[in-house]
Amino acid sequence: MALVIVLLIVLCQGVPPTYDHVRSFERNLSQHSVTVDRTHPRYLRFPGHLWGHGLNNVLQEALLMSYLAYVSNVSFVFEDYTWSHTPLPWTIHGFALRPARIPLNAIISGPTAGGPMSHDSQAPLAVSADFYERTCGGQEAKPYVLSSASAPNDEDGTTIIEWWTQQLVSVQERCIEIDSTPHDLFDRFLFGGPRILTLWESLTSSPVLSEFAWSPIVQSAVARNSALLQSDTIKNTYGPSSSFQGLVAVHLRRGDYKRHCPNLAKWGARYMGFNQHPSLLDRFDPSPYENDSASKEGYYLAHCLPTTNQIVSVLRTVRREYQFPKRANAESDAEQYHVSMAVDMAIAERAEVFIGNGVSVFHSVTAVATGSNKLFKFSSLSSNVVLLRMAKGMDVTSNRFL
């Protein structure tokens, strides 16, 4: 009886969309219809890509993998955003059905998802995992596998990318895969520390970010709420590149973070790597409190789990320079709902001011098994939004942190 009640509760939440029209769009990408011949590009797939994680952990990895493919002049193989490997189209999460897999083009557009690059780029376009499996599944096109065993994972981002580029240059086979079993290709320590900053200039100026766009589904959700997000005194603009003048987007995390945030103080966690860029105004420096655990924890909580008064204080500081933000409640349909995390980011990317905050839980199997103290870090969402805003050319001073 209890099982029946739970099942009814789950079904009452509704059945998620299948995004079949997006899959049809991906199948019909022009690069998927090219006749296979000797001029066909080489393909690069990452079988060990992240799945079962939040969008921003997956997105930051996918962008960097796509960038590696771009600088190596090979075609990036993009994957679904995968929450579960169940054979069913849905899985249960929080007493509701959610899609087990969402096609990447339901979330983002641009080069990483197979979109076109600038006319002066000679790099091959990305292809879907489905196309790759059909093209490279036969015995004649058996993938050539590169191992990550000797990769310089402890070096800075540029050194890591250059090392992998040299490995890929020497491979002539059409289908290439990277085995990340020995070491993660780009691990959480790279994303979470300053070593990644050496890639900042080349990454933000590459088509991977300069031509990054949110999917039509995400953009339609933003446009649907555009009137709510714009200042009353500013003419509404609906283009994907326009900004919402007078809007401050604040990234706050609550829930069980009352327990998580003190752990950051114990472990000495810092902001995500890109959020440590020297051009950003707000710095995170707990070093004056190293010998006082109570003060150190208070410092971390002010940035990770700020009180209402602390949030108001930051907003007042911002108000001195910008118009006060409007309050808006966004609306969405079923397809937009299941990519709502991307809708939030698209709005934050276009806000006049973005205030980042929060922690992100990174469920590493190894970390859970070993009790690693590197399980939590400051927010990958804030890091990705800042990266996209900077690549878009937003004023660096418009990126702030609690």
Residue 387 to residue 384: CA distance in whole angstroms: 5
The CA distance from 379 to 254, in Å, is 13
CA torsion 277-283-288-290 (nearest 10°) is -60
- Alpha helix (H) ranges present in 87-215? 129-136, 157-169, 188-191, 200-205, 207-210
How much helix, strand and coil, in percent to the nearest 5, is found in the chain?
A: 45, 15, 40
User: Global pTM?
Assistant: 0.88
C-alpha distances (whole Å) from 307 to each of 269, 298, 317 are 20, 11, 16
Structure tokens at 387: 């990266």
Question: What is the predicted pLDDT for the residue at 259?
Answer: 75
Which pLDDT value is given to residue 147? 95
Residues 365-385 have pLDDT tens digits of: 333 333 333 334 457 888 899
Q: Is 386 helix (H, G, I), strand (E, B) or coil?
A: helix
Give the pLDDT confidence score for residue 246 in this predicted structure: 82
> Smallest Cα–Cα separation from 113: which of 11, 222, 15, 31?
31
**What gap in Å lies between CA 67 and CA 209, rounded to an integer?**
9
Q: Which CATH number fits domain 14-32+40-214: 3.40.1440, 2.40.128, 3.30.1490, 3.40.50?
A: 3.40.50
- Give the chain's end-to-end CA distance (angstroms, integer): 48
- Domain ranges for the chain, please list them: 14-32+40-214, 217-401
pLDDT at 378: 57
- For the stretch 149-157, contacts whose Cβ atoms lie closer than 8 Å and that sit 24 or more positions apart, written own/partner, are 149/182, 149/183, 151/183, 151/185, 153/183, 153/184, 153/187, 153/189, 153/190, 155/195, 156/195, 156/196, 156/197, 156/198, 157/190, 157/195, 157/196, 157/197, 157/198, 157/199
- Give the single-character DSSP code of 394: -
The pair of three-digit structure tokens given for residue 273, joined into one six-digit string:
């790597």
Distance from the Cα of residue 281 to its chain's centroid: 23
- Looking at residue 315, its pLDDT comes to 85
339 with 106: CB under 8 angstroms? yes
CA atoms within 13 A on the CB side of 378: 27
Q: What is the mean pLDDT of each run of 10 residues along the chain (402 residues)?
A: 52 79 97 68 95 92 97 97 91 80 97 89 93 84 91 96 96 94 89 93 96 96 83 50 81 73 81 88 88 89 87 85 61 84 93 74 33 49 92 91 82
Tell me what pLDDT residue 49 has.
95
pLDDT tens string 9-67: 555 666 889 999 999 999 999 999 865 444 679 999 999 999 998 899 999 999 999 99
